[in-house]
A and B are shown apart, each in its own frame.
Chain A
Amino acid sequence: MLADAIRSETYRLSKNRTALFWSVLFIPIISVVLGVIAIIVAKAHEADLAGKLPPELLQRAPLNLAESLVKSAADFANPIVLLFILIGAATIYAGDYRWETWRLISARNTRPNLLTGKVVVVIGLTVLATVAGLLADIVTHLVQAVILSRSLSFSTDGAGFTDFVQLTLLSWARIIQFTMLALLAATVTRSLLAALFVPLVISVAQFFLPQMLMQMGVSPEGWVAPLLSPGLATDLLKAVIHGGMEAAGLPPQAALKAVTGLALWIVGPFVAAVAYFKRQDLSKE
């Protein structure tokens, strides 16, 4: 039954080219285009810019693709990427309210299955967006290597494959966390705009929250801070991945607290949305 719900939602998304373009392809395409333009401009004005650009951009040293991918993975869950992934997530979560199609589909499967099916498809969408973003990064570096006559290397001395995987998973979890807020917002408000903007507003609030908590005397190493701020939890985990607990100067329990905080912000909105949706009147979607 859940598999049916996933198949149905996947099929519908596969036909929604607009949502797929904006949530998966737009940012990678733009990043490749802007990246290539920047490289061409840099090449054309190499002599003029010699003292003004970062030396590594114009040096002839090999480009380390592994290091670059790790950096991209770590920074992937940024607000711009988030905004465009949320377009797809909001369309999936609020679409049946917007098109008044709950009345057609809710009789064909159970409500928890239908909502869980949407979540699985959105998770798939974020995987696609993550992979597309990383592929765009590789393409940009290949073009950079060709135009600037630089060789490519894949040295994992500084940042290994484990780091890459961990940071990718962390970025991905952060994006999933926001899509879960979109799910809850869409279910409660039945509005596509709310599904899009509520997570963005919360992401802005979470940006300032760690500083506010510290000003209020809340220690980032305790339980309260990572539970209240998944952004802080993510930053703690990044620090742990980059340097280990000791290098990051964190107590042994910090990683566990951060993982717990992030997991609660993913599971909590999902459970709340399913519980609410099970009892929701669909008299007028």
Chain B
Amino acid sequence: METVIDIRGLTKTYGTVRALDGLTLSIPRGGVYGILGPNGAGKSTLFRTLLGLIRPTAGDATIMGGPIGAPTSMRRMGSMIETPRFPPFLTARQVLEWLGRAHGGVTSTEIDHWLQRVGLAEAADRRVRGFSVGMLQRLGVAAALMTKPDLVILDEPTSGMDPPGIQEMRALIRSLADNDGVTIILASHQLQEVQRVCDRVAIFNKGKVVTEGRVSDLTAAGERLRLSVTPLARALAVLGDRASLDGDAVLASVPRAEGPAVIKALVEGGVDIEEARWIGADLEDVFMDQTGWTGVQELNHAG
């Protein structure tokens, strides 16, 4: 697997806080890669480190073959870290012109194209001081993409956007990965969005990777067989501790490969099966499981 980023033992400490704790991760070239984690897990710190905004305390990383901060690599990257801010006296078009000049120049046709693509064509000549958070996000995405980068890092790209905006952004990200061959790394708290748009994810907790893999593999690992059966008691007896109740049905926690054998055992045990179907765990379940996070914990902590 060809990698676009190789991270080896990356550590960043702020006083006694270890924002990144010996992080090791390889991100493959191509596709959309999601970085997930609760607040303070180290996602933004990782992005800032990869972009050369902050220096790691220990460890290093290779980005497109070069070390962190190498000009040749940096010029092939686009990024948007958190909600972007811009000089308030500039219009959206002027922001892209200003950033484009620092990069070596971007034509006005390209600027128009990207303003159109992120849905800011009508606001192109408005000063950004009056922009909503969603509009700033769109402009930040346009700024990240306008230089045709090979690698794009997006931190919460849909934060503050309305539902149509989120849908458009999702389509744009997928299109860049599928049609333009751009590698996109994104962090988001919207797990359903991540599940829809990402090919692979890494889940962070306390500055470390707790799990990593293809979204389909991670969610498949939590798959269960949902069985509508009679009698319930006999089915529970046959399945033993692999079974749990889900209303009038039984959930069997078994690997997909063992499905036929489980059904055969139930039938031989005198259980009538009306319906059997696999239900997948979603990314949220995997996230909760891997980070040990619960809504109650979060609320108590916030309180």
B54 partner, pick from A4, A7, A107, A283, beta carbons under 8 A: A283
Inter-chain contact B102/A5, CB cutoff 8 Å? yes
**Is there a chain B Cβ closer than 8 Å to A165's Cβ?**
no
Chain B residues within an 8 Å CB radius of A279: 55
Chain A residues within an 8 Å CB radius of B94: 11, 15
Chain B residues within an 8 Å CB radius of A99: 85-88
Chain B residues within an 8 Å CB radius of A104: 84, 86, 99, 140, 143
Given known contacts A15-B90, A101-B85, A106 and B53 CB-to-CB distance under 8 angstroms:
yes
Chain B residues within an 8 Å CB radius of A17: 89
In angstroms, Cα B105 to Cα A1, docked, is 11
Given known contacts A15-B89, A16-B87, A108-B75, A103 and B101 CB-to-CB distance under 8 angstroms:
no
Tally of contact residues, B, Cβ under 8 A: 32
What is the total of A-B residue contacts with beta carbons within 8 Å? Answer: 84
Inter-chain contact A8/B88, CB cutoff 8 Å? no
**Is there a chain B Cβ closer than 8 Å to A105's Cβ?**
yes
In angstroms, Cα B75 to Cα A110, docked, is 10
Q: Chain A interface: which size bin? A: 20 to 34
In angstroms, Cα B104 to Cα A282, docked, is 23
Q: Nearest CB to that of A100 among chain B residues?
A: B85
**Is there a chain B Cβ closer than 8 Å to A109's Cβ?**
yes
Q: Nearest CB to that of B55 among chain A residues?
A: A281
Given known contacts A101-B85, A283-B48, A8 and B99 CB-to-CB distance under 8 angstroms:
yes
Inter-chain contact A4/B87, CB cutoff 8 Å? no
Inter-chain contact A106/B88, CB cutoff 8 Å? no
Inter-chain contact A108/B103, CB cutoff 8 Å? yes
Given known contacts A16-B87, A17-B89, A99-B88, A283 and B53 CB-to-CB distance under 8 angstroms:
yes
Inter-chain contact B102/A4, CB cutoff 8 Å? yes
* B75 CB to nearest chain A CB (Å): 7
In angstroms, Cα B89 to Cα A18, docked, is 9
* B80 CB to nearest chain A CB (Å): 8
Given known contacts A11-B97, A11-B98, A11-B101, A107 and B85 CB-to-CB distance under 8 angstroms:
no
**Is there a chain B Cβ closer than 8 Å to A102's Cβ?**
yes
**Is there a chain A Cβ closer than 8 Å to B74's Cβ?**
yes
Q: Nearest CB to that of A91 among chain B residues?
A: B87
Chain B residues within an 8 Å CB radius of A18: 89
Q: Nearest CB to that of A96 among chain B residues?
A: B87
In angstroms, Cα B91 to Cα A16, docked, is 11
Chain A residues within an 8 Å CB radius of B71: 1, 109-110
Inter-chain contact B89/A107, CB cutoff 8 Å? no
Shortest Cβ-Cβ A-B pairs, 10 listed? A8-B102, A8-B101, A282-B53, A108-B102, A108-B103, A7-B101, A281-B54, A100-B85, A283-B54, A12-B98
List 15 interface pairs A-B (beta carbons < 8 Å), by A numbering.
A1-B104, A7-B102, A8-B99, A8-B102, A11-B98, A99-B85, A99-B88, A100-B85, A103-B81, A106-B53, A107-B74, A107-B77, A109-B103, A282-B54, A283-B54
5 additional A-B residue pairs with CB within 8 Å, beyond A12-B90, A105-B99: A1-B71, A99-B86, A103-B79, A106-B51, A283-B45
